[in-house]
Structure 1
Amino acid sequence: MATTSNSFCSPPLTRLPLTELARPLPHRMRVRCFSSSPLSRFDAGRTLAQIQNSGVIACLRANSPELAMEAARAALGAGVSVLEIVMSTPGVLEVLEQLVLDYPAAVLGVGTVLNVKDASIAMSVGARFLMSPAIVEGIMADVQNSNVLYIPGVMTPNEILLAYNAGAKIVKVYPVSALGGVNYISAIQKPFSHIPMVASQGIAIESTDAYIAQGASAVVLSEAIFNSEAMSQHNFDLIYELAKKASLLGSEAVDRKKRWMRQTCLQRGVSTSH
């Protein structure tokens, strides 16, 4: 039987009850400045470093704000440090705003951002990163002078280079499974080893190590963590367990890669002080 145990959850909401999240807030309430909040201490470079150290971006889509909130809390409580909520999730901006308050150390962002308006509102409620399935030039331009990291979606070598030259600090290779999975990351990373890449779409938790070993900075895990059956049954204990496994495997994969790189540098007589 499915369970809704909240033993792993954070303290209860401090601002908006879940029932209120289902109602769109007035625009003037949604768009507010975070410049004086703890969020202001973050910048795109630090967000990028935290994504690379995590190795995993948990990608959440839900059909209600209540479900999104509980699933997010299960994943964050299990150790996930980077969470993306898909823009099509009802109440996504209000959910994000509350999570930013409840989990100030977490790297929280919005995915499938397709236009400048949505990007702007997401940034105003505390998104530390934005992710798109393609390159949205307007978003790229808007984030240049902000503390928010933009991760555009790319598929071909030309798109990777185009995004990088336009200012992207990291790109999302999407849809990676359809392109060849680990083998594609391994091949495409070689001429662009200076460009951090996130592998996204159809990745299993068990494949995390292989993707990171072959050049990905991190992987996006969606249904692998937020299992569709668990979501429909509100089985947050299962989501917690999947998130815990993903977080652990991601950290281990990143640590292995770092050790390998240090060893390789030492063998070649290259300093690793940087």
Structure 2
Amino acid sequence: MDMGAASAYLSPSRWSLPLIPPPSPSPPPQESIPFSRVSCCSSRLSSSAVTSGSGSSKTATLSAIQSSGIIACLRSSCAEIAFEAASAALDGGISVLEITMSTPGVFQVLKRLVEAYPAAFLGVGTVLSVADAINAMNAGARFLMSPATVKDVMNVVQGTEVLYIPGVMTPTEILCAYNGGASIVKVYPVSALGGVQYIAALKKPFSDIPMVASQGITTDSLGDYITAGASAVVLSDAIFSKEAMLRRDFSKIHQLALHASSHGKEAVHG
């Protein structure tokens, strides 16, 4: 890894361009903001989300997650910062990235990223409703994540090429989610449940169920989770450092992404 190159990383000029403009007609002045959660997105599932190409199939997405060992989790209080931070991480080698629903204009940011990084596997996190699931899929999400198993979301994803990763905590929840159609589950909040040891314990009875470990994981500990049986880990602050996000230090985020990506590939492939 060339750390000198990472420290010299500069934001591409395209980041300074405005993101997707609000739809027409514009909202009333008191609601006129650069981005909104559901603007530009239909309440119905578009045909492209159902019949997307093989490059965005569930199998390809699952394979990308398992190959990289990392799902980068981005949350931001500003749409422009979210786009720039995501771009820095993707340019730094991250191939799978989720943007949380709490990010303003999450769907518009996602659409812009899909256009800029068509080969990346981009998704939306903290999806708790069918409406949010449909808007995320229409915006180009290849996967959806939830902190719990939301059956309505699981049902609406069935028949599409979008991968749903439900959140689970107990052995019963893992088995129910898997029997309900989940190809992979997210064990959350893993640090509070016992961390690496908890993943290792769960994999004994559920060796065939792919698991993503999520919450409180550092780049230095991701290898231990992979060794314990996790297919991948969710990295949030480890890549999108609170300080770097606050200072808009995208060079730092790029550097952290390079570091995490290298560790993830080493952990998965040896």
TM-score with structure 1 setting the length: 0.86
Secondary structure (helix, strand or coil) at the match of 1:150 reads: strand
Secondary structure (helix, strand or coil) at the match of 2:192 reads: helix
Secondary structure (helix, strand or coil) at the match of 2:243 reads: helix
Correspondence 1:30 to 2:41: yes
Number of the residue aligned with 1:264: none
Percent identity among equivalent residues? Answer: 57
Q: CA deviation at 1:237?
A: 0.8
In the alignment, which of 86, 96, 100 is matched to residue 72 of structure 1?
Answer: 86
Number of the residue aligned with 2:164: 150
Correspondence 1:135 to 2:149: yes
Q: Is the 8 A contact 2:239 2:253 kept in 1?
A: yes
Q: Distance in 2 between matches of 1:177 and 1:162?
A: 22
Q: CA deviation at 1:38?
A: 10
Correspondence 1:122 to 2:100: no
Contiguous gaps of at least 5 residues in structure 1: 257-274
Correspondence 1:219 to 2:233: yes
Correspondence 1:113 to 2:113: no
Q: Deviations over 1:26-80 (max 9, x none)?
A: 85x3238462999533211110011000100000000010110010010000000
Q: Distance in 2 between matches of 1:174 and 1:26?
A: 27
Q: Distance in 1 between matches of 2:208 and 2:118?
A: 30
Number of the residue aligned with 2:26: none
Q: Distance in 1 between matches of 2:237 and 2:36?
A: 26
The AA in structure 2 aligned to 1:35 is S
Q: Distance in 2 between matches of 1:192 and 1:219?
A: 17
Q: Distance in 2 between matches of 1:189 and 1:71?
A: 34
Q: Deviations over 1:87-142 (max 9, x none)?
A: 11001000000100110000000000011110011001100000000000001111
Secondary structure (helix, strand or coil) at the match of 1:186 reads: helix
Q: CA deviation at 1:17?
A: 1.6
The AA in structure 1 aligned to 2:189 is P
The AA in structure 1 aligned to 2:131 is K
Q: Distance in 2 between matches of 1:26 and 1:236?
A: 27
Secondary structure (helix, strand or coil) at the match of 2:216 reads: coil
